[in-house]
Amino acid sequence: MVKIRLVAMLALALGGATGCTSCEGPPRTVPGALVGTCTEGHAGCACKSDLTCDDGATCDHGFCMPTGCERGTEGCGCGTNGECQTTGLGLTCANGVCRAVDAPAPGTLGGECGDTQACGVADGEQLACTGGICQKPSCPTGQVGCPCGPYGRCGLVETNTLWCFDGLCSRGRCEAPATVGCLCSTDGDCASGHRCADSICRNGGASSVSVGNPDARACDVLLVETQAGRAPNVRFAPGVRGEQVYRSKKLALSFIAASDQPLPDPAVTIEAQSGSVAAYAVALSECADRAGQQVASPGVLLR
């Protein structure tokens, strides 16, 4: 089981501190078509609502990309996987265009870290060294609405590729708006009864983890699959920081309240990926109170 050192985390988050609201998890704002930081239809911006772009650009993966040059090269559209040529160039996919961008300084958000390089603070949140990169525990690199990875890399949401837009992983315009993997409507709705979460329409069922004991401030929970599926999407509630590891049909969760308050109900939401029907059972659970002492009956419940 992957464990967070509960006593150390509690001392950092609760010991004489007032907590930090910037450490909270989702909901997150997905940039792109929902945010007016860029003129829709321009190269390097989201496509227009009719999936067209201004002259000199074409709509692809929801973003307007320059035409007439080789994709993946500097100044041209990113590759179909949202990446650029990096060998000897270090190009970054930003707003659908490959650009030469300086790498973040070591120890800063998105910068390198390791045994000899600790991570600093970004937006009031202590960064964690994960996979050799400084990341926000409340918003893991590459997830929807979270910082882009090295060279503008982002992950998937409901099998759709996310692209780096204004430094955050986003989903642009879709051919069928408000469908699975696409942006929700401006009213927060989705087609065919799908769920809207983090401004993205999602498929599949969802489970949640609740902690019944109000004295609990941090928990480690190990879930095992009772019905096989794929790696789920894990979201921590506002006011909760956490990490997760999925391996060998087991999901390890470690999470902590960002301030000296009981954990919200639910504390964690586990969403099945599109086409996946995984089910889980609690194998192990352990929680600690504000003093770092183990809670005898934490009341961890999986719904």
pLDDT digits (tens, 9 = 90+) for 51-103: 888 888 888 777 788 888 888 888 888 887 777 876 556 788 887 788 887 78
CATH at 239: 2.60.40
Evaluate if pTM is beyond 0.85.
no
CA count, 13 A, side-chain hemisphere, 242: 29
The verdict on whether omega for the bond into residue 66 sits within 30 degrees of 0, i.e. cis, is no
Same domain, 235 and 295: yes
Say whether both 151 and 211 belong to one domain.
no
- Say what the pLDDT of residue 29 is: 43
pLDDT at res. 1: 35
Residues 209 and 295 in one domain: yes
SS3 annotation, 248-266? CCEEEEEEEECCCCCCCCC
Contacts of 267 (CB under 8 A, 6+ apart): 209, 210, 211, 219, 236, 237, 240, 255
Q: Which parts of the chain register pLDDT below 70?
A: 1-37, 86-89, 158-159, 172-173, 175-177, 193, 197-199, 203-205, 227-231, 272-278
Alpha carbon distance 251, 233 (integer Å): 11
Asked if 151 and 166 touch (Cβ cutoff 8 Å), the reply is: no
Q: Would you state the pLDDT for residue 228? A: 65
Does the residue 65 lie in any domain? no
249 plus 264 within the same structural domain = yes
Shared-domain flag, residues 146 and 183: yes
Q: Which domain, by its residues, includes 150?
A: 121-202
Same domain, 281 and 208: yes
Residue 126 placed within a domain? yes
265 found inside a domain: yes
In a domain, 50, yes or no: no
